[in-house]
Copies of this chain bind each other. A is one copy, B any other.
Amino acid sequence: MFELLKRDTQTKARLGRLTTAHGVVDTPVFMPVGTQASVKALDPRELREMGTQIILGNTYHLNIRPGLDIIRAAGGLHRFMNWELPILTDSGGFQVFSLAKIRTIKPHGVEFRSHLDGSPLFLGPKESMEIQRVLGSDIAMVFDECPPHDAPPKEQRQAVERTIRWARECREQPRAPGQLVFGIVQGGSNPALREECAKELVAMEFDGYAIGGVSVGEPEPDMLKAIEFTEPFLPAAKARYAMGLGTPAQMIELIARGVDMFDCVLPTRIARTGTAVTHAGAFALKGSAHKTDFGPIEEGCECYACRTFTRAYLRHLLRANEILGLRMVSVHNSHLYLKVMTEVRAAIAAGTFAEFYREFIANYTPSQKILAHRRREVER
Instruction: Report the minimum CB–CB distance from A67 to chain B (whole Å).
Output: 9
A327 to B41 CA separation, bound complex (whole angstroms): 8
Q: Are B82 and A309 in contact (CB under 8 A)?
A: yes
Asked if B41 and A316 sit within 8 Å, CB to CB, the answer is no
Q: Which residues of B contact A316 (CB under 8 A)?
A: 36-37, 65-66, 70, 80
Residues of the B chain whose Cβ atoms lie less than 8 Å from the Cβ of A328: 43
A76-108 CB mask vs B (1 if < 8 Å, else 0) is 000011100000000000000000000000000
CA distance A45 to B309 in the complex (A): 12
Let me know if A175 is at the binding interface, CB within 8 A: no
Number of copies of this chain that the complex holds: 2
Given the known interface contacts A70-B291, A327-B43, the answer about A82 and B308 at a Cβ–Cβ threshold of 8 Å is yes
A73 CA to B69 CA, complexed, in Å: 55
Cβ of A170 < 8 Å from any Cβ of B? no
A43 to chain B: which residues have CB within 8 Å? 304, 308, 324, 327-328
- Do residues A44 and B74 form an inter-chain contact, with CB atoms below 8 A? no
Tell whether A326 is near chain B: CB-to-CB under 8 Å: yes
Using Cβ atoms and an 8 Å threshold, which residues of chain B touch A73? 292, 294, 312
CB-contacts of A248-280 with B (<8 A): none
Within 8 A of B (CB), among A178-237: none
A286: shortest Cβ distance to chain B, in Å? Answer: 12
CB distance from A43 to the nearest CB of B (A): 6
A-B residue pairs in contact (CB < 8 Å), sample of 21:
A36-B316, A36-B320, A36-B322, A37-B313, A37-B317, A37-B322, A38-B317, A38-B325, A40-B323, A42-B324, A44-B308, A65-B319, A70-B291, A70-B316, A73-B312, A74-B310, A80-B310, A80-B316, A81-B313, A82-B309, A323-B323
